[in-house]
Amino acid sequence: MLTTVLAGGLLALCLLSLGLGALSIPPGQVVDALLGNPVGERVENIVWSVRVPRTGLALAAGAAMGLSGAVMQALTRNPLADPGILGVSAGASFAIVLAAGVLGLGSLLGQVWFAFAGALIAAVVVYLLGQLGRSGPTPVKLALAGIAVTSVLSSLTSAIVLTDPEALDRFRFWSAGSLADQDGATVVRMLPFLALGAALALAAAPALNSLALGDDVATSLGRRLGLIRLQGVVSITLLTGASVAAIGPVVFLGLVVPHAARSLAQYTGRGPDQRLLLPLSAALGAALLLAADLLGRLVARPAEVQAGLIIAFIGGPFFIALVRRRKLAEV
């Protein structure tokens, strides 16, 4: 039942995404264009050249960000974990800007390797900062360390782009989480990285279930903790790095989606089973980013509000509520 509802919702969002925007296209014409029936050159160009790649990119990047957030929360047993909050997205962003602004790399394939390196280094730095002190890496300490690292990296990123007016003009749209002006080649280039990251994440689901019981229990069940964490980190790096390289950082999506997935999973009777939560987070992430992009196209027509800004508007209050629940004063 849940699968049917999610599939129907995603299909409806895809049709709306293909039909709505600065120029609204009736659903019948959208279907005809997809089937190859004659609907006019203008409509065909809008559907196939603009909205199909944009919709596909929203689905792929949203699924990757939702999945990476779920893996990060399971791996760290931290309900505040999110690639954006823990500095992973900022690390990837800084590395991409460094590659483009200093080294002159303009291609997605060239930049994505820098995104992977930046994401991985930022994650390690945040974890090392978060474990300082006798209490160890508590959820709120990791979140605060992530916010601090994100602030530093954001300042360095701004310092680089401010030296190049053209780079600044491109960066201000990309940094807001923009799906505009993307073509099908972008989706094709990022899919191998996302597919590998998703495969590693989904394969780790049984081990993450064991890890949720504690390190000692997981070890007694035959789990190799180092291998589990390495697999999780690699999957997060691939999913986040490729997504950030394609559309820019989208903060809070990876935070909100896993919590929504856990709420929905309660109705299945399976509880917090990562074998259900991970694919559910991927589906909800795709739906949320696509819905945010669609809403951004409609609220300011014919102009647009970037999808990342819509997600931030939703996720900001959600993050504050979670922090208050974790009792910040006890840290």
What is the tens place of the pLDDT at every residue in 251-297?
889 999 999 999 888 877 667 889 999 999 999 999 999 999 999 99
H helix or E strand, kind and range, residue 164: none
Per-residue pLDDT tens over the stretch 199-214:
999 999 999 999 888 8
Owner of token pair 């790649």: 53
- Tokens read off for 202: 């989904």
CA–CA separation, 110 vs 112, rounded Å?
Answer: 6
CA–CA separation, 157 vs 155, rounded Å?
Answer: 5
Residue 79: count other Cβ atoms within 10 Å of its Cβ. Answer: 16
Question: 71 pLDDT band (50/70/90 cuts)?
Answer: very high
H helix or E strand, kind and range, residue 224: none
Per DSSP, the three-state class of 134 is: coil
- Tokens read off for 287: 């739906």
CA–CA separation, 5 vs 260, rounded Å?
Answer: 15
Query: Which is higher by pLDDT, 123 or 10?
Result: 10
- Tokens read off for 313: 């508007």
- Tokens read off for 28: 């019948």
Per-residue pLDDT tens over the stretch 124-179:
888 888 877 766 666 677 778 888 998 999 899 888 888 776 666 667 767 777 78
Sign (positive or negative) of CA dihedral 145, 150, 156, 159: negative
CA–CA separation, 283 vs 280, rounded Å?
Answer: 5
Summarize the confidence of residues 26-47 as an average pLDDT.
89
Region for 64 from its dihedrals, namely left if φ exceeds 0, alpha if ψ lies in -120 to 50, beta otherwise: alpha
Question: 67 pLDDT band (50/70/90 cuts)?
Answer: very high
| Domains of the chain with bracketed CATH | 52-330 (1.10.3470.10)
| 327 φ, ψ (degrees, to nearest 5) | 60, 75
CA–CA separation, 11 vs 243, rounded Å?
Answer: 22
pTM of full prediction above 0.85: yes
Summarize the confidence of residues 38-53 as an average pLDDT.
90
Q: Are 312 and 34 in contact (CB under 8 A)?
A: no
Q: Are 122 and 148 in contact (CB under 8 A)?
A: no
CA–CA separation, 162 vs 171, rounded Å?
Answer: 10
Half-sphere exposure of 150 toward its Cβ, with a 13 Å CA cutoff? 18
| Per-residue CA distances from 106 to 97, 113, 123, 170, 207 (Å) | 10, 12, 25, 12, 39
DSSP designation for 46: I
Q: Are 84 and 250 in contact (CB under 8 A)?
A: yes
DSSP designation for 177: T
CA–CA separation, 110 vs 96, rounded Å?
Answer: 9
H helix or E strand, kind and range, residue 303: none
DSSP designation for 266: G
